[in-house]
Structure 1
């Protein structure tokens, strides 16, 4: 979704820092800062601290004060990130087709030809009692314990079902039978917006690294952030593959993150006619396209409905990557990029372009990829 006018871009009086030592923290406390929370982040090998800035101090001035205490610390605002779905009515009932057909997603249960590695998801709450998700290999970890701020289940349920929904349900997942560890890092803001702050996103990413998750779906976007950037680099250096939504702010919007980081696979959306989704962000960081308009998946309480947005294109690539690395979980990012390019149709300008990236996913030969060692044809 596009950021609602009433939803701020960051916490009004908070900073997040990595790499502060005890002397620096003690000095900041004397200056009027308060430590709201702190946690050791194994992913980075350092402590992450959430600071409340002194009353009357601007965030820029507060950040400068923290840097003055520790020039090597990574410090930024506690930015907010949101899911990337559009509230657009679609069809309902049995007449809705599975748009996965436009990329040739195998109709038979694809997990028969490969055992995908453990998949991670950082998203909103998930309705684990939805019929599509019963008897699936789903684990949900919630970061916030307060009921008053519990995030909505619409987005997370839809993405989880698209990934691993039961094969015999109305909305079969792309990888039914795969194991999914989902971290609910979001909280409700206002009446309907769900937001995740940087502090919780890094916590969620760290949890998934500790659980030996190989591929993570990030159907969320927000601004560039130094703490997020450092965490993304650390995660990918550990061998994790991050797949993120390109964003729904419009074709002329500025880049959004984490998709725009070089280490992340940025996924844009197309409709059934293979036309670009009208609200998808465009840019040189776009890597690949997948179906994201009118995607048939689970509704939050029961049943199913169409969903639109780059949020629902990202799971196609998360699933495809999981199959591609099934036979080689330690595949390098360079090798993976070359492999992905073998499974795209170049539907835009020749080569990589800012609308479709390398092109539209072609999943029809995914099962062959397990033993396919031929060089890229692109």
Structure 2
């Protein structure tokens, strides 16, 4: 009788496991504790979500497949195969809706005159926000479209009223990162691939005291990477909007100017960083910056007289942003942007694809192109962007992947070159970067690597 009860109990447990399909999953904490399995994680404490939590092994030789249990390892239920299979087919999981590409019911304009704004107001447009652009000598305006009018029609109407202004949708732009790639070493210092010099070995012609502009998400200023307090953070987004996550901005900022004594030394530890948080949290783990805020951020940084601006973000073409980029470029400020992670067949993304912006793609430690990086004739240079070791959002560090983390290498190189030669004009600087780049792929400029991989060994020891 006792044996019969035991068998019945075991059979019931096995049936429960079959139906739930999750009791022996590697991610189940109870099973991990029961089996004594360990998990190797990155040395981090991110709290914003997004990406993997490291790349280590679970300590078991088996693997887990949906509906199949462990293979190659010891099963908790070796008699599971004798139980009847589920006859009802699983419903296919619905595809997640695509994230929005623009703000609803809003258009933005740069250079709309007071009289033109009056005409638009009379037609039913409502001014939501306006901000003077001191550097550009005009103002940027955000308008709500009239009720019952489509966005396309409203944009066309505003363009006809203000033909000389840059009028467009209030497009969204997003950080360019992807789930973390595994580290093959304990520190993943990808800078070694391009010969980035240690701070203590910089030649005398390569000073560290440079001012860099950054437009990104929120940043954790209390991270030990910023113990030198060489970072100033300006939040542009409205206080009424949720703050963006700190993962992306903290990682990019630390990669640029992180303390030399921290676990995440920056490329220019003594550099001065002015970081503009122009993003807000639009949805679960969806950080966005509207074109309206990006234009304001560029104006702010131009007014602070930075020499180079890092833009590890991407989105669709936008007339307002294009005009702001043009205005900044005419002031001799270099802008460096991510090439995007939408894949090699994707359309070019912006601001990277604008003519006076340096677009940077990503490579791995073997100098191979990152498989998700964008391609095209607009690509200028390549830099390490796979498993780049940098700061986590709360404390510690972890590897980061994406063209977002390739762009800071070129930004740092530009900053050091301009610090050593303050009168270096953008055209000459581009020529120098091009002349010293390591040509990968087809000879000359190609759509995969641009002019080639950044050669950090040459950024400070030559002025030829």
Please indicate the TM-score interval, normalised by the length of the shorter structure: over 0.9
Structure 2 residue aligned with 1:350: 443
The correspondence for 2:375, drawn from 282, 288, 291, is: 282
Structure 2 residue aligned with 1:7: 99
Q: CA deviation at 1:145?
A: 4.5
Q: CA deviation at 1:333?
A: 2.0
**Could you tell me how far apart the structure 1 residues matched to 2:278 and 2:448 are?**
30
The correspondence for 1:156, drawn from 249, 270, 285, is: 249
**Could you tell me how far apart the structure 2 residues matched to 1:301 and 1:70 are?**
46
Structure 1 residue aligned with 2:386: 293
1:247 correspondence with 2:367: no
Structure 2 residue aligned with 1:38: 130
Tell me, yes or no, if the aligned pair for 1:324 and 1:339 is still in contact at 8 Å. no
Structure 2 residue aligned with 1:81: 173
**Could you tell me how far apart the structure 2 residues matched to 1:174 and 1:188 are?**
28
**Could you tell me how far apart the structure 2 residues matched to 1:333 and 1:365 are?**
17
**Could you tell me how far apart the structure 2 residues matched to 1:33 and 1:366 are?**
51
Tell me, yes or no, if the aligned pair for 1:18 and 1:74 is still in contact at 8 Å. yes
Structure 2 residue aligned with 1:55: 147
Tell me, yes or no, if the aligned pair for 1:77 and 1:225 is still in contact at 8 Å. yes
Question: Cα distance 1:147–1:134, how it changes in 2: closer, same or farther (>3 A)?
Answer: farther
1:233 correspondence with 2:321: no
Tell me, yes or no, if the aligned pair for 1:244 and 1:259 is still in contact at 8 Å. yes
The superposition leaves residues 59-101 of structure 1 with CA deviations (integer Å, 9 ceiling, x where unpaired) of: 1111121122222121000000000000235349x72331110
Tell me, yes or no, if the aligned pair for 1:111 and 1:175 is still in contact at 8 Å. no
Question: Cα distance 1:111–1:149, how it changes in 2: closer, same or farther (>3 A)?
Answer: farther
Structure 2 residue aligned with 1:181: 274
**Could you tell me how far apart the structure 2 residues matched to 1:19 and 1:354 are?**
35
Larger radius of gyration: 2
Tell me, yes or no, if the aligned pair for 1:136 and 1:166 is still in contact at 8 Å. no
The superposition leaves residues 27-70 of structure 1 with CA deviations (integer Å, 9 ceiling, x where unpaired) of: 21121110001111123221211000011111111112112222
- More divergent stretch after superposition (101-110 vs 187-196): 101-110
1:368 correspondence with 2:368: no
Structure 2 residue aligned with 1:22: 114
1:69 correspondence with 2:177: no
**Could you tell me how far apart the structure 2 residues matched to 1:8 and 1:211 are?**
32
**Could you tell me how far apart the structure 2 residues matched to 1:52 and 1:330 are?**
44
**Could you tell me how far apart the structure 1 residues matched to 2:394 and 2:240 are?**
18
The correspondence for 1:340, drawn from 433, 439, 453, is: 433
Structure 2 residue aligned with 1:311: 404
**Could you tell me how far apart the structure 2 residues matched to 1:49 and 1:97 are?**
44
Q: Determine helix, strand or coil for the equivalent of 2:148.
A: coil
Structure 1 residue aligned with 2:364: 271
**Could you tell me how far apart the structure 2 residues matched to 1:56 and 1:212 are?**
44
Across the aligned residues of Structure 1 and Structure 2, the Cα RMSD in angstroms comes to: 1.8
**Could you tell me how far apart the structure 2 residues matched to 1:100 and 1:143 are?**
32
Structure 1 residue aligned with 2:39: none
- More divergent stretch after superposition (70-79 vs 192-201): 70-79
**Could you tell me how far apart the structure 1 residues matched to 2:380 and 2:332 are?**
19
Q: Determine helix, strand or coil for the equivalent of 2:120.
A: helix
The superposition leaves residues 245-287 of structure 1 with CA deviations (integer Å, 9 ceiling, x where unpaired) of: 0000000000000000010000000000000000000000000
Q: CA deviation at 1:115?
A: 3.8
Q: Determine helix, strand or coil for the equivalent of 1:43.
A: coil
- More divergent stretch after superposition (326-335 vs 158-167): 326-335
The superposition leaves residues 80-132 of structure 1 with CA deviations (integer Å, 9 ceiling, x where unpaired) of: 0000000235349x723311100000123448631453100000000000011
Q: Determine helix, strand or coil for the equivalent of 1:286.
A: coil
**Could you tell me how far apart the structure 1 residues matched to 2:240 and 2:269 are?**
30
Q: CA deviation at 1:134?
A: 1.5
**Could you tell me how far apart the structure 2 residues matched to 1:21 and 1:104 are?**
51
